[in-house]
Amino acid sequence: MKNKNISFWLFILPALFALTVVVFYPFFYGFYYTFTDWNGLTATTFLGLENYVNVFQDERFLDSIEFTIKFAVVSIILVNLLGLGLAVLVTQKMKINNGLRTIFFMPNLIGGLILGFIWQFIFKSGFDAVGQMFGIEFLQGWLATSETGFWGLVILNVWQYAGYIMIIYISYLQSVPQELLEAAEIDGASIFQRFWRIKFPLVAPAFTVSLFLTLSNAFKLYDQNLALTNGGPYGSTEMLAMEIYKTAFSRYEMAYAQSKAVIFFILVAAVAISQVYVNKKREVDM
Amino acid sequence: MKKKMMLWVVGMLTFLLVLAGCASDAVNEGSSGNDTNDSGGSSEEDTALTNVDIFQFKVEFKDQFEELVQLYMEENDDVNLSVQTVGGGNDYAASLKAQMASGNEPVIFNIGGPTELEEYRDYLTDLSDTEAASLALDGTLNGVEEDGAVYGLPFAQEGYGLIYNKNIFDEVGIDPATLTTFEAMEDAFKTIDEQKEALGLEAVVALPASELWVMGNHLANNYIAPEFNNDILTAYEADSISFEYGDQMKRMLDLQNDYSVQPVLSLDYSMQVEQLFSTGKVAVIQQGNWIYPTVEQMDSDFATNGIGMMPMPFEGEYEDHLPVGVPQYWVVNQNASEEEIQAAKDFLDWMYTSDQGKDFVLDEFKFIPAYDGYDASRISDPLSQDVYKYSVAGKTLGWTFMATPVGWNEDILATEFQKYLAGDVTFEEALDVAKQSWESSRQ
């Protein structure tokens, strides 16, 4: 027993060491910097909680929190709806299933920056050309206002992640026991009843995974944001990660940015943990 | 019990590791200067080579610069120069900072002006004993000179203004040289606008309002520099800004917006320069001499014969002045060894004052030289020639955006301009926000 313990700890030591050096140590060091006026090179004075007080009076930061939450809510709903929809579609008995799966998953293989630029072209030039051809004003001037910027980001994100989330739903849908479905069919359940009463509850664990993935992804989104709108117009589509980056690397307020990042970390951690907790509880009930 | 003990031991070990990490870090910080000295010294004994690391930002001339470095090394075989290029404004500053923090400090690097001079003061060597410093043109050392010490050597000069399509101005019969006042400019735009279908234009101007620097740095500077008597250092030391020429700033912004391709807020640099100006769909754009290579790639005949630059209108003492400035300076790291510093100085001198170096600066880099002793007629493109003309005549405005509070021009002023263009705020409100932000950062 004793030997087993020692070897256990010995085996874990290298990983623990690596983690300490590259994760824990920088994390706590960064945390320490938030109490100083660190500018990236030197820290001269100890400020206490001043940075944190300022963060909560920083309108730009608060705006970006609001924008990020708005974006997260809308895109989580849409990504999951579309992902589930696609999963149901490609698990029907069709010949082109595999082809469709590949196509739906494809956007996920393209890097965020490239996607951002592709969609920027679509929104700015593609939409504009179609709009001019058919005289649809709605399609013109996309990304020039904060509303179109917001929806542009949502569309991009949904398009990219729906395929990925679809894969998760597919695996759960396929593990639904055939005999249940057959029994229901014999009992005269319609296709909708079979979906809502049998498949949907059995797929519930997938929601935990999918919601967690889409949630943390929506909060941490950066490269698509950078490539598509770069926060414009007038910083109104600036998400949290980008706001923090800009504070650090274009205004050079490193310590201040670090304290924003700590708040960002707490926010993401809190949301993600409570979401997993709630979902886990619900799974058991079903 | 045993398990608990083990937990404690591991816990303590981890803690020790963290402490060790801190401690070794602290030691490193203290002696990093010596460390590099030592290694520099010993490698020199082995190979008789002085290693000079260059960390530079100008991606556009990377290949030509490396060629020049190669040439220099062939002539001076006791020096080994290695060049690292990291592109574009913000990225360069961030990676330079990371490089410094990691202790892997370059010997030669770039800074932008007084703001960065302040930030990197502890790293900078006085370069006033170099030949290049003594030959630098008047005003080009403005932002990096302090109490007789010169901390940076200018890369080159750059200038911006309104770049126009000569063919279109010929067709409507307007001489750009006469457009020095707002009235004249407005009339000209109106004339062109009335004939835009016949001229094949989409609009008169393309204002890329999604590019914060075009409005916040360049447009605004034309009306901010005069307020600070055209002096970068005055701007750098100013506690407040009053926007003395704010109404002219508004007039210029409105003029460009009114005659621009819409919507301006999603128009960007590449649409402005490549899609619209180079293809002759707009007649005038507000840009600088750096667009020449792009236009040349699109249409080389148009680039050589069809474009010119004129200043933005200004009413007052600085009428018909072109904003000309030094985008970046070369600086030498004080923490390097003496041999390295000397080698760095020699190289910079050679680049800007030797005949071979001068040829490169003019023909390969296509710079507008910031130093005396160059043959001005060899400047290759029409935009640079226009800039040099204004520079020689002394009709230039300083680039005050090199000396404003960090991030102020783009993050505050230009962002407010965008709100103004979107109709969310009035111009006065936009300026008020910018004034307050200036004051609070200069407290």
Cross-chain Cβ contact A6/B17 below 8 Å: no
Cross-chain Cβ contact A235/B415 below 8 Å: yes
Cα-based torsion angle of the residue sequence A180, A181, A185, A188 in order, rounded to the nearest 10 degrees: 70
Do β-strands B50-56 and B108-111 pair in parallel, antiparallel, or remain unpaired? Answer: parallel
CB atoms inside a 10 Å sphere around CB B188:
21
Q: What is the pLDDT of residue A16?
A: 92
Domain residue limits at A96: 53-285
Whether residue A17 lies inside any domain: the answer is no
Q: What is the pLDDT of residue B18?
A: 53
Which residue of A lies nearest to B267 if distances are taken between CA atoms?
A144
State the pLDDT confidence band at B7, using cuts at 50, 70 and 90: low
Between positions 8 and 47 of B, the ones with CB within 8 A of A are 10, 14, 17-18, 21
Domain with CATH 3.40.190.10 in chain B: 46-156+326-373, 158-325+384-441
Instruction: Answer whether the bond into residue A201 is a cis peptide, omega within 30°.
Output: no
State the pLDDT confidence band at B204, using cuts at 50, 70 and 90: very high
CB B125 within 8 A of CB B335: no
Whether residue A33 lies inside any domain: the answer is no
Whether residue A31 lies inside any domain: the answer is no
Which residues in chain A land under pLDDT 50?
285-286
DSSP conformational letter for B105 = -
> Whole-angstrom Cα distance, residue B428 to residue B443?
23
State the pLDDT confidence band at B257, using cuts at 50, 70 and 90: very high
User: Is the pLDDT score of B423 beyond 50?
Assistant: yes
Indicate whether this complex's ipTM tops 0.85.
Answer: no
- Give me the total of CB pairs closer than 8 Å, taking one residue from chain A and one from chain B: 84
Q: What is the pLDDT of residue A283?
A: 63
Cross-chain Cβ contact B18/A20 below 8 Å: yes
CA distance A40 to chain B (A): 7
Contacts of B407 in chain A (CB under 8 A): 246, 250-252
Lowest-confidence pick of B82-91, B139-148, B382-391 = B82-91
pLDDT in tens, B84-134: 888 755 578 778 888 888 888 899 999 888 878 888 888 999 998 888 888
Rounded to the nearest 5°, which phi and psi values hold at A231?
A: 85, -10
Cross-chain Cβ contact B14/A9 below 8 Å: no
Q: What is the pLDDT of residue B40?
A: 39
Superfamily holding B46-156+326-373? Periplasmic binding protein-like II (3.40.190.10)
CA distance B392 to chain A (A): 34
Which residue of B lies nearest to A243 if distances are taken between CA atoms?
B411
Our count of domains for chain A comes to 1
> Whole-angstrom Cα distance, residue B188 to residue B313?
12
CA distance B102 to chain A (A): 10
Which residue of A lies nearest to B91 if distances are taken between CA atoms?
A249
> Whole-angstrom Cα distance, residue B206 to residue B284?
7
pLDDT in tens, A11-21: 899 999 999 99
Cross-chain Cβ contact A2/B2 below 8 Å: yes
Q: Which of A41, A230, A252 sits opposite B406 (nearest CB)?
A: A252
Between positions 31 and 70 of A, the ones with CB within 8 A of B are 39-41
pLDDT in tens, B327-375: 889 999 998 888 899 999 999 999 999 988 888 888 888 888 888 888 7
Residue A126, chain B, CB below 8 Å: the answer is no
Whether residue A34 lies inside any domain: the answer is no
Cross-chain Cβ contact A141/B415 below 8 Å: no
A178's CB contacts (< 8 A; 6+ apart) are none
Query: What architecture is the B158-325+384-441 domain classified under in CATH?
Result: 3-Layer(aba) Sandwich (3.40)
CA distance B125 to chain A (A): 18
> Whole-angstrom Cα distance, residue A159 to residue A154?
8
CB atoms inside a 10 Å sphere around CB A59:
7
Q: What is the pLDDT of residue A157?
A: 92
Contacts of B14 in chain A (CB under 8 A): 16, 20, 24
Mean of pLDDT values over B218-238? 88
User: What element of type H or E holds B89?
Assistant: helix B89-101
Contacts of A124 in chain B (CB under 8 A): 266, 271
| CATH code for position A110 | 1.10.3720.10
Q: What is the pLDDT of residue A68?
A: 92
CB B220 within 8 A of CB B312: no
User: Is the pLDDT score of B31 beyond 50?
Assistant: no
Q: What is the pLDDT of residue B290?
A: 86
Residue A9, chain B, CB below 8 Å: the answer is yes
Mean of pLDDT values over B23-36? 38
Q: What is the pLDDT of residue B45?
A: 44
Residue A249, chain B, CB below 8 Å: the answer is yes
What percent of chain B has pLDDT above 70? Answer: 88
Cross-chain Cβ contact A41/B419 below 8 Å: no
State the pLDDT confidence band at B28, using cuts at 50, 70 and 90: very low
State the pLDDT confidence band at B2, using cuts at 50, 70 and 90: low
Contacts of B209 in chain A (CB under 8 A): 233
Residue A251, chain B, CB below 8 Å: the answer is yes
Cα-based torsion angle of the residue sequence B35, B40, B45, B51 in order, rounded to the nearest 10 degrees: 170
> Whole-angstrom Cα distance, residue B404 to residue B26?
34
Residue A121 burial (C-beta neighbours within 10 Å; 0-12, 13-18, 19+): exposed
Average pLDDT value over all residues in chain B? 83
Q: Which of B17, B100, B265 sits opposite A233 (nearest CB)?
A: B265
Q: Which of the two residues, A68 and B25, has the higher pLDDT score?
A: A68
